[in-house]
Structure 1
Amino acid sequence: MTASHRGTIFLETARILAHHAPAPEQWLLTLEAPACAERAEPGQFVHLQCDPALPMRRPLSLQRVNREQGWVEILYKVVGHGTRLLTQRAVGQTLSLMGPIGQPFRPDPERPHVLLLGGGVGMPPMIFLADRLRRETGWRPMAFLGSELPFPFPTRPSRLLIPGLPPDAIGTLSLLEDWGVPCRLSSTQGQPGCHAGYVTDLTRHYLETLGATERRNVAIYACGPDPMLRAVAQLARAFDLPAQLSLEEFMACAVGGCAGCVVPVQTPQGKAMKRVCVDGPVFAADAVYPA
């Protein structure tokens, strides 16, 4: 068991700056956590105390980070007792936070056309990565996001053209549109402006419009539930594209001690069991879902 993560995870008392539910059962939490904000990278997460009476923490992805002002933003869905307790925490109260944790996305400068695929609570890391890349020169991020619940962000018809998409794919997140990041939405629940299908459907439509030379500039980065990530890996393989995936997994300690979140990963030495918390959560798609 390696110890490469030692000295990179910080424990701090984080003050709640904002906390509200932009959609049913989905909450947006902003925390003053300067140590985490200073070091966090897209794809990493925090292990957060939900309530002083609850000893077990919950792993939650980072959605946005402001290093200068020292805050981090988290979008979470209420799925159990811990996150239900977390919804009761008010502005001004404090929570114990460990982070940032895990291996982040590592964009390849040789492939500057970045396709960001997010499903459900897998959307936050994609927004974080879009925010980071749009601030740097040379990158061309584009996002395809899907949700079966109402989107917890303002949406609107997009004015940023993405060729080759179905005519029902007109909606975008207002936040990404304001950043100049092209984005389209999908849902199987008939949400307005959303493509009636999956994010991988939209991505396939788009990739089919690109020639071989254009595809050599493309890489895929994704986060979402296991069936979606398997489909992303298959899509990347079909178009001969590199892909990095952020896995969702149940965690107890989240710092590599309990080995309760291990998954089989293909390595140059053969198959090995890797901890999603500190060896991931980001892995190469072909390592986690080999052909």
Structure 2
Amino acid sequence: MLELEDAVESPPCCLSSQRCAQAPQFAVAENLCRVVSNEWVNDEYKHLIVEAPEVALRAQPGQFFHLACPPDQHGAALLRRPMSLYKVSPQEATIEFLYKVQGLGTRGLARLRAGDTLDALGPVGRGFAVPANAGHILLLARGVGLATLTPLADWARSQGVSVTAVLSARSEGLVMSADYLRQAGANVLIVTDDGGTSEVEHVEALIRRTHAAQRLDYVATCGSNRLLQLLQRLAGDLGIPGQIALEQHMGCALGACFACVRPFRKQADTQDLTYRRVCWEGPVFDLQETVSW
């Protein structure tokens, strides 16, 4: 493990409620991790488990690692690939990733076998910030976006916070981690395209019923522009704070190259724009300040 710094000071928080607050420091290291397993979950996704050094085990929900992907038969990816944390198990000294095999980098990751070494830079970025008084939170995810939100369920269980997880996918066969979320105590609701239940109107009605039964104090989403727009409108209407974890191509993942800059509203109640680095000011941002794509 090659330490980059003992502690990297993260930038001022982008959340409107904490705009001038100084974020906690977090360690960043180049972690050389031994692969425990790298198995197919379904026809598109794999689940990677690696043994990790102590620095990596400090990762918080919403943070990510910048992975050096091995080459496949077509060559090697020039840049590392950002990968959201799926699970961290300090007792087992492991971290886990859930990823879709679809490009040069992830095809290289898919070739890893037990005993191989994965170079994982991190943990990097700003994670989720659930209000201290939250008693019930909503996780709304589509596809692999679920991987980013799942650690919040483990956090909620440790804090005695109720979780409702709405999982959206093209079909039942592509729904992942439902059992894992249930084991973490979440109320899991599945909506699918082929079942005709993933339309915005149906999901909105589902969330409104959930809120009516037990007030939601915080919402989080990842992986879908359509669900972002829905949750922005719904959370604004119901007065619920929320955040989104964004996916973005990156260069350095340390805020230096500005390759992952995208526009954001300066504040939730304005259309005036500013620009922020997803790797450094995020990848988790205020729901209402995020501009849809």
> Following the alignment from structure 1 to structure 2, what is the Cα–Cα distance between the partners of residues 199 and 35?
42
- What is the identity, as a one-letter code, of the residue corresponding to 1:84? R
Q: Which position in structure 1 is the counterpart of 2:64?
A: 45
> Following the alignment from structure 1 to structure 2, what is the Cα–Cα distance between the partners of residues 82 and 74?
14
CA contact (8 A) 1:146 1:198 kept: no
- Aligned positions of 1:256-271 closer than 5 A: 256-267=255-266, 271=273
Taking only the aligned residue pairs, the percentage that are identical comes to 32
Residues 265 and 136 from structure 1, CA distance in 2 versus in 1: closer, same or farther, beyond 3 angstroms?
same
The Cα offsets for residues 29-52 of structure 1, whole Å up to 9 and x where unpaired, read as 001112344210111111111116
Deviates more, 1:43-52 or 1:30-39: 30-39
Q: Which position in structure 2 is the counterpart of 1:157?
A: none
| Equivalent of 1:14 in 33, 36, 41 | 33
> Following the alignment from structure 1 to structure 2, what is the Cα–Cα distance between the partners of residues 142 and 110?
17
- What is the identity, as a one-letter code, of the residue corresponding to 2:203? L
Q: Answer yes or no: is 1:224 the counterpart of 2:230.
A: no
Residues 225 and 254 from structure 1, CA distance in 2 versus in 1: closer, same or farther, beyond 3 angstroms?
farther
Deviation of 1:111 after TM superposition, in Å, equals 2.5
| Equivalent of 1:26 in 45, 51, 54 | 45
Q: Which position in structure 1 is the counterpart of 2:202?
A: 201
> Following the alignment from structure 1 to structure 2, what is the Cα–Cα distance between the partners of residues 63 and 199?
26
> Following the alignment from structure 2 to structure 1, what is the Cα–Cα distance between the partners of residues 248 and 91?
31
| Equivalent of 1:279 in 278, 281, 284 | 281
3-state secondary structure, aligned to 2:207: helix
- Aligned positions of 1:1-291 closer than 5 A: 4=10, 8-51=27-70, 53-137=76-160, 139-148=161-170, 150-151=173-174, 153=176, 173-190=178-195, 196-198=197-199, 201-208=202-209, 210-211=211-212, 215=215, 217-267=216-266, 271-289=273-291
> Following the alignment from structure 2 to structure 1, what is the Cα–Cα distance between the partners of residues 201 and 156?
22
Residues 240 and 32 from structure 1, CA distance in 2 versus in 1: closer, same or farther, beyond 3 angstroms?
same
- What is the identity, as a one-letter code, of the residue corresponding to 2:164? M
The Cα offsets for residues 197-250 of structure 1, whole Å up to 9 and x where unpaired, read as 147733532324645x953x5210111133322222122122221111111111
CA contact (8 A) 2:143 2:175 kept: no
> Following the alignment from structure 1 to structure 2, what is the Cα–Cα distance between the partners of residues 131 and 203?
25
The Cα offsets for residues 134-187 of structure 1, whole Å up to 9 and x where unpaired, read as 1223x1111111122633647xxxxxxxxxxxxxxxxxx122222321111111
- What is the identity, as a one-letter code, of the residue corresponding to 1:146? S
Q: Tell me the TM-score normalized by structure 1.
A: 0.82
Residues 179 and 208 from structure 1, CA distance in 2 versus in 1: closer, same or farther, beyond 3 angstroms?
closer
Residues 103 and 204 from structure 1, CA distance in 2 versus in 1: closer, same or farther, beyond 3 angstroms?
farther
- What is the identity, as a one-letter code, of the residue corresponding to 1:275? R
> Following the alignment from structure 1 to structure 2, what is the Cα–Cα distance between the partners of residues 199 and 97?
37
Deviation of 1:255 after TM superposition, in Å, equals 1.4
- What is the identity, as a one-letter code, of the residue corresponding to 1:132? W
> Unpaired runs of 5+ in structure 1?
155-172
RMSD: 2.5
> Following the alignment from structure 1 to structure 2, what is the Cα–Cα distance between the partners of residues 244 and 57?
26
Q: Which position in structure 1 is the counterpart of 2:18?
A: none
Count of residue pairs brought into register by the alignment: 264
CA contact (8 A) 2:221 2:243 kept: yes
3-state secondary structure, aligned to 1:23: coil
3-state secondary structure, aligned to 1:88: coil
> Following the alignment from structure 2 to structure 1, what is the Cα–Cα distance between the partners of residues 238 and 53?
41
> Following the alignment from structure 2 to structure 1, what is the Cα–Cα distance between the partners of residues 33 and 210?
46
CA contact (8 A) 2:125 2:282 kept: yes
> Following the alignment from structure 2 to structure 1, what is the Cα–Cα distance between the partners of residues 220 and 198?
19
Q: Tell me the TM-score normalized by structure 2.
A: 0.82
> Following the alignment from structure 1 to structure 2, what is the Cα–Cα distance between the partners of residues 188 and 71?
34
CA contact (8 A) 2:29 2:56 kept: no
> Following the alignment from structure 1 to structure 2, what is the Cα–Cα distance between the partners of residues 251 and 175?
29
> Following the alignment from structure 2 to structure 1, what is the Cα–Cα distance between the partners of residues 113 and 92?
20
3-state secondary structure, aligned to 2:231: helix
> Unpaired runs of 5+ in structure 2?
1-7, 12-24
- What is the identity, as a one-letter code, of the residue corresponding to 1:177? R
